[in-house]
Amino acid sequence: MGRTYAGVLGSLAMTVIVFRGYLASSGVEATLWQAVGALIVFSSIGAILGQLAQSTVEESVRSTLEEQLSEKPSGT
């Protein structure tokens, strides 16, 4: 999940910076440096958030399963 979030956020950030540079008629080199920087920063953030989300979901599923198994009567 972390790699997916990293890919989505990084690509989105890069696209937004390139589009912003296009609308502002900025220089290509400066725009691409900003886009690569945004890609790196937002990919890192996405990876961290994705790992956090994955561990949260796994822990939730694990606790729910343990709770359901402990409620099951042992006689049947």
Q: Looking at per-residue confidence, does 69 or 17 come out higher?
A: 17
Residue that the structure tokens 């890192």 belong to? 44
Q: DSSP 3-state assignment of 64?
A: helix
Q: Is the pTM of this model over 0.85?
A: no
- pLDDT score at 74: 62
Instruction: Tell me the pLDDT tens digit for each residue of 21-43.
Output: 999 998 999 999 999 999 999 99
- pLDDT score at 3: 87
- pLDDT score at 39: 96
Cβ atoms 3, 47 nearer than 8 A: yes
Return the domain boundaries, the chain: 2-67
Mean pLDDT of 50-70: 92
Cβ atoms 10, 46 nearer than 8 A: yes
Q: Is residue 72's pLDDT more than 80?
A: no
User: What does each C-alpha distance from 16 to 25, 30, 43, 58, 70 come to in angstroms?
Assistant: 14, 14, 14, 32, 50
